[in-house]
Structure 1
Amino acid sequence: MAQRLLIIFLITFLLFISFQFIGQPLKRYVDAGELTKPVTSQILNMTDCSALDHPNMLSVNQIQGAGIQSPYVDKKVSTVGIVTLVSKPYKGFFIQSMKPDNDDLTSEGLFVSSGNDSRLYELKHGDKVFLQGKVAEYFGRTQLTDVEGVTVCGNGSALRMSNFSLPLKSALTKVSNVTEYELAMEPFEGMLISSSQLLTVSGVEKLTGYGELLVSYGRLMQSTDIVSSGSAAKHYEKANKLNQIVLDNGDPRLGYADVIINKASEIAQGLNVLKAGDTVSGINGVIHFNHNQFKIIPTEPVHWHVKPLSRVVPLNTNSHTVPNTSKSKPMLRIVSANIHNYFNGNGSLKAQYNGFPTKRGAKSLQQFHVQHQKLVAQLSMLDADIYGLIEIENDGEEEQSAQRYLVEALTAYSSTNKKPSGKGAKNYQFVSVKSINQSGLLGSDLIRVALIYDANKVETVGTATTLPSLDNQSKPINSAFSRGNRAPLIQSFKHLKSGKEFTLAVNHFKSKGGCPKSKSDPNRNLKDGQGCWNALRVKAADELAKHLQHPTYDGHGVLILGDLNAYQQEQPIMTLRQYGYQNAVDIKSSQLAAYSYIFRSRTGTLDYILLNKTAANWVNSSFYWHVNADVAKEYGYDKLTTENRLPASTHLRASDHDPVVLDLTIQ
């Protein structure tokens, strides 16, 4: 009898429980070890997350707070939000408030660290979740850690994306040890944003290595390329910093492989490769703070606008096909090119130069072959009559020297690729410096400058000279070229068709790095935008210009070529202008933007062809050929890997500097 009564009681109890929950939705309770299994033994009777009340319940914007740090650091809290992005590479997910608080100083988004619980990655975009965890500031990023439980309680409605545009507005308040950029970005941390702007790729330094690009509204320029050093440069750079954001592919382990156009024929020619200067639009994503940078991780595909790079120099800038050129006005093309430490690995003068890795250039024979192919292709496509080269191995002039090896390759290339008429083969020679030093070395550095010319077009006049000059006792004077600045190469030429004489001075001024430690050294970084060693570069410019005033060069067109390691508005360039020299691209160029180098995502000009008044009258056109600086460094010879997706034979990224081209009509 007792057993029968017990059975009837149990059946009645189970029927009662079942009727209470017929038609109610099944909710998933997730603790640290139970994400994927619904807890069927504990069915929750609720229709939204509000049923899960908690004494420490806070909204996402309350957790974030209006300052740089959360006011709840190290406290356990509970919150509710909509999942906007799940990221395995960044080991967590993002949530956002369902209703904004209309406070421009607080973020509606928050990053939740998954710790070691990989099952949290089963969460999906749009999941409405209740969770508990501890508030932390992880290297400047507000986040929830030590997550104790996550309840998925439905699917949220569509969230309103916050409008994001550049440049950012400066924050009204200042906080010590916090930049204006950080203050301006803090209200967006962790949030879902949308940008309707057409943004420009300004930096590709981390493109193939980390899948990151720096984008801005318009291209970011070096401050002293646009304005004078000092307060104007500081103000300009301040504006730059408010006009940038990293676009991240969401996986720091992978490059932006998907944004390289997958057309085999175009890749083989080095065309349609994502690069600085290209643009992007339609960005929707989440703002993340990682490695001291704010980044947008797109939540849907963006729209790339990739400009193709031509394999050939445009016809209207080719000195041999310029329209309406009279035969009585012979043309001459001069190129200045930094060739990025061209070392051929078997220099003949010093044993330590032999073999690979080289002191400055290629680390292996394979790298050198790539470098050589790229460089010969690029220089040959320019089809110049004179090349002023910077950063070539300083190993003399003998059979195994780098400059002889390059000259022979350029001549051979021109012979095998001559025009159908049979014309076009070059007779390239290099300017000897044995009149300066019988060893054939120029200066004491591992690298030097060089001049290569087509003997069919010009001939040398006299012998080469350099600086520093000598005093009466044939000893070097105290000169800007005694240290730091490489020895210049100065040579006069005669144009064979016109009979006109002109002089070229190829230079490589001291770089901005390796700052002196003394606080009283005039070459220290004065924080005025010009970097270190500015005083030494100014002295070099002054000495060079004074030397070129010597009666030897009277009546000559004088051209100063090279990598001067100074931007257009810096004092070394201004010094040369005071002596009457003009930048060739300022005289006659169809380019909207002239530049040759990108450093830390700032574009500017370090490479020049400057002309005195006589030579300026001969200018037909001048331009920078943007085939190197805009392209990611991983495509250069020195970053060659098995993952390199740009064929080694392409002419792109033969160097880190763009060549500058000048076409003269000698008359």
Structure 2
Amino acid sequence: MTKTPLPAAFFCAAILAGCSPEQNNGEAAVTSCPARTAPIATVQGDAPESRMVGQQVTVHGIVTLIQDGKGLFIEEPDSDDDERTSNAIYVEATQIASAIESGSLLSVSGTVAEIGEGRYPLTALTSVSDIIACSADNPLPMTTAELPLNGLAREALEGMRIRFDDELTVTGNYRFGQGNATLSGNGFQFVPTEVVQPGSEAADLLASNRAFALPVSLPQNMTAADVLVSGTPVNQVSGVLAHDNRVLRLAVQSISAEVPASFEMPAPAAGDALRIVGMNLHNYFNGDGNGLGFPTPRGAETLAEFEQQRARIGAAIEALDPHILGVQELENDGFGPASAAADLIQLAETVTGQNWAVTRPVADDTGGDRITVGLLYRSDMLEAIGSSQTLTGGEFEKSRQPQAQLFQQLPDGEKVLVVVNHLKSKGSCPDSGADMNQRDGQGCWNPVRLASAKRMAAWARNVALAGGTDNILILGDMNAYRNEDPIVAIRDAGFTELMDDEQGEAYSFVFRGQRGTLDFAFASQGLFEQVRQAFIWNVNAAFPANVDLPTPWLRFSDHDPVVVDLVLRQSTTSD
């Protein structure tokens, strides 16, 4: 690890031009301050919103943060001795005199207002009539804070310049490319239902996670070398507790991050092992297959964007070197030469130098959704016995149709049934009925996912029985976390989740700064003893989206791939 201090110069850019009626030349006078009418703490009060909204006031404060073209924050140290009230306030002004800079003591006259959305809006002075610079180069105030902080505790620090002496952890970085991240005061955070039961336990953990989470705006001069991977420890964090129109967000003015020097390759498969990988492709749409047809309905907006996505997926396939790929979010446009499936086969052949094929259901029935699941395999190592089978109707009008394919390892190896799934997501929630969000931590559409899981698990056993094997591997994006009903149902059907003993460590997805597992591998009792190793390769979920990353397979999707290595028993039959 290398210590990389990240300066905060971008927060201190001066905003130019005057806004006082008497200051038409764009310069602010440096003079003695006129009398204030109220301390800032009195204007703020001890409630989520000021009791002085609509009143005209004059306040004094030192400039701690200037936001270009929007306004600035001022702070009055020791404004009062009540810890429940903030000593700072936001001044809404699109033009600020050039003499005003960080450390200037200002007298500001304006109307008290609450701006922004959410339960805790930002107390501000608007319709500003006077901004007078009284002195310059004043020491910047600083208050030590520590997590956890509930809503009222954050409100008491609103607009103030604060620092955290304890080490924090990067948890959320999805919008790192836009300069936003989330830090945590209690290390890695997990989606509640990943580690506790749905219901009151999940609600309590969610409240705790939120209290320990700190949304931040990061310095603009961070580069790819400074990428904050989820889990990165950070120190010396300080800044102004600003507002992003939705929530209070720390505008970071200093931070020291330990940036990873390298990124781990996946563990190789043993020489005698059959490697099966579950992989969410994050909407693999290849346009019309001939370089046109962009933007696509769900995937790449342009050919260049698709080619970049394709290259990253190809690099991941090359690094993993699988023998079977069970994929989700593949464009559902059939199996013709211009299809996404054909394109993915070509990609796999190019990066591995081996022959690949795709399984095809009877009548090529892959359902009516824009995306589908798919099974690709090394045709030099495996034989697909018959067509793949799909499960249709009912709950699979919401969940994508699963596919099951019976494989035999060549030349005369054992059979294994591989089933790939993509259950209904937690999005597009209904407003009423059993499928609405029940506020137990499982999100909406839980009954659909539960019914899908139960029906799929029973169906997989029947397909395997008909194929003469008890070796079953169930893969897929289940859109449910480890302790949620659909995952419990698959376990209850007699399947073992291969990373269950890593609860609280394993994850395949990061949502709002919280880790969890959505992508699973379940083995039947007969197959379990033939599993050599199973792991989740964390190369996607911990990394920010839409930024340049140093290694070609990083962030090829928003889900991490699941890897299972099998050493199948030799077949004892000749059929």
Flag whether TM exceeds 0.5 (same fold). Answer: yes
| Map of 1:107 onto structure 2 | 86
Does the 8 Å CA contact 2:75/2:141 hold for their aligned counterparts?
no
Question: Is the counterpart of residue 431 in structure 1 residue 359 in structure 2?
Answer: yes
CA distance in 2: counterparts of 1:39 and 1:111, whole angstroms: 21
Structure 2 counterpart of 1:208, from 160, 172, 177: 177
Structure 1 counterpart of 2:236, from 282, 291, 294: 282
Say which structure is richer in strand: 2
CA distance in 2: counterparts of 1:464 and 1:628, whole angstroms: 29
How far does the alpha carbon of each residue in 1:8-50 deviate from its partner, in whole angstroms, 9 at most, with x for none?
xxxxxxxxxxxxxxxxxxxxx994443865769xxx7x7xx5x
Taking only the aligned residue pairs, the percentage that are identical comes to 33
How far does the alpha carbon of each residue in 1:290-339 deviate from its partner, in whole angstroms, 9 at most, with x for none?
3121011123x3112222452632xxx21147xxxxxxxx2111100011
CA shift for structure 1 position 384? 0.6
CA shift for structure 1 position 490? 0.7
CA distance in 1: counterparts of 2:252 and 2:22, whole angstroms: 30
Question: Is the counterpart of residue 356 in structure 1 residue 294 in structure 2?
Answer: yes
CA shift for structure 1 position 405? 2.0
Aligned AA (2:281): I
- Secondary structure at the counterpart of residue 504 of structure 1: strand
The alignment covers a number of residue pairs equal to 544
Does the 8 Å CA contact 2:84/2:153 hold for their aligned counterparts?
no
| Map of 1:535 onto structure 2 | 447
CA distance in 1: counterparts of 2:28 and 2:107, whole angstroms: 15
Does the 8 Å CA contact 1:208/1:257 hold for their aligned counterparts?
no
| Map of 2:247 onto structure 1 | 293
- Secondary structure at the counterpart of residue 388 of structure 2: strand
- Secondary structure at the counterpart of residue 487 of structure 1: strand
Does the 8 Å CA contact 2:389/2:404 hold for their aligned counterparts?
yes
Q: How does 1:209-358 map to 2 (within 5 A)?
A: 209=178, 211-217=179-185, 218-249=187-218, 257-261=220-224, 273-299=227-253, 301-308=254-261, 310=263, 312-313=265-266, 317-320=267-270, 330-346=272-288, 355-358=293-296
- Secondary structure at the counterpart of residue 569 of structure 1: coil
| Map of 2:46 onto structure 1 | 66
Aligned AA (1:281): N
CA distance in 1: counterparts of 2:552 and 2:189, whole angstroms: 27
CA distance in 2: counterparts of 1:31 and 1:354, whole angstroms: 56
| Map of 2:566 onto structure 1 | 664
Question: Is the counterpart of residue 655 in structure 1 residue 525 in structure 2?
Answer: no
- CA gap 1:62/1:666 in 2 versus in 1, 3 angstroms: same
Question: Is the counterpart of residue 396 in structure 1 residue 396 in structure 2?
Answer: no
Does the 8 Å CA contact 1:335/1:388 hold for their aligned counterparts?
yes
| Map of 2:168 onto structure 1 | 199
How far does the alpha carbon of each residue in 1:131-155 deviate from its partner, in whole angstroms, 9 at most, with x for none?
3332222232112233333443335
Give unmatched runs, 5+ long, in structure 1: 1-28, 171-180, 250-255, 263-271, 322-329, 416-425, 469-477, 636-644
CA shift for structure 1 position 105? 0.5
- CA gap 1:77/1:460 in 2 versus in 1, 3 angstroms: same
CA distance in 2: counterparts of 1:363 and 1:153, whole angstroms: 53
Question: Is the counterpart of residue 147 in structure 1 residue 128 in structure 2?
Answer: yes
| TM-score in terms of structure 1 length | 0.76
Structure 2 counterpart of 1:445, from 369, 385, 388: 369
CA distance in 1: counterparts of 2:245 and 2:107, whole angstroms: 28
Aligned AA (2:255): V
- Secondary structure at the counterpart of residue 350 of structure 2: helix
CA distance in 2: counterparts of 1:654 and 1:484, whole angstroms: 26
- Secondary structure at the counterpart of residue 387 of structure 2: strand
CA distance in 2: counterparts of 1:154 and 1:282, whole angstroms: 29
CA shift for structure 1 position 106? 0.7
CA shift for structure 1 position 214? 1.6
Aligned AA (2:110): G
In the TM superposition, structure 1's runs of 4+ consecutive aligned residues that sit over 6 Å from their partners are: none
- CA gap 1:345/1:61 in 2 versus in 1, 3 angstroms: same
Does the 8 Å CA contact 1:501/1:557 hold for their aligned counterparts?
yes
Question: Is the counterpart of residue 544 in structure 1 residue 437 in structure 2?
Answer: no
Aligned AA (2:387): T
Does the 8 Å CA contact 1:389/1:449 hold for their aligned counterparts?
yes
How far does the alpha carbon of each residue in 1:407-451 deviate from its partner, in whole angstroms, 9 at most, with x for none?
122112222xxxxxxxxxx22222232xx11xx342222221111
How far does the alpha carbon of each residue in 1:338-390 deviate from its partner, in whole angstroms, 9 at most, with x for none?
11121222369xxxx98333332223322222222121111121101111011
Structure 1 counterpart of 2:543, from 631, 636, 648: 631
Question: Is the counterpart of residue 189 in structure 1 residue 91 in structure 2?
Answer: no
How far does the alpha carbon of each residue in 1:247-279 deviate from its partner, in whole angstroms, 9 at most, with x for none?
113xxxxxx5522245xxxxxxxxx63332223
Does the 8 Å CA contact 1:390/1:508 hold for their aligned counterparts?
yes
Does the 8 Å CA contact 2:19/2:96 hold for their aligned counterparts?
no
Q: How does 1:101-180 map to 2 (within 5 A)?
A: 101-114=80-93, 116-119=94-97, 121-139=98-116, 140-155=121-136, 158=139, 160-168=141-149, 170=150
| Map of 1:612 onto structure 2 | 524
CA shift for structure 1 position 594? 1.5
- CA gap 1:226/1:359 in 2 versus in 1, 3 angstroms: same
Give unmatched runs, 5+ long, in structure 2: 1-17, 570-575
CA shift for structure 1 position 558? 0.8
- Secondary structure at the counterpart of residue 258 of structure 1: coil
- CA gap 1:650/1:36 in 2 versus in 1, 3 angstroms: same
Q: How does 1:491-640 map to 2 (within 5 A)?
A: 491-496=405-410, 499-517=413-431, 519=432, 521-550=433-462, 551-552=465-466, 555-586=469-500, 593-635=505-547
- Secondary structure at the counterpart of residue 147 of structure 1: strand
CA shift for structure 1 position 505? 0.6
Higher Cα Rg, which structure: 1
Does the 8 Å CA contact 1:512/1:532 hold for their aligned counterparts?
yes
Does the 8 Å CA contact 1:30/1:151 hold for their aligned counterparts?
no
| TM-score in terms of structure 2 length | 0.87
C-alpha root-mean-square deviation of aligned residues, in Å?
Answer: 2.7
CA shift for structure 1 position 566? 0.9
CA shift for structure 1 position 607? 0.8
| Map of 1:16 onto structure 2 | none
- CA gap 1:507/1:81 in 2 versus in 1, 3 angstroms: same
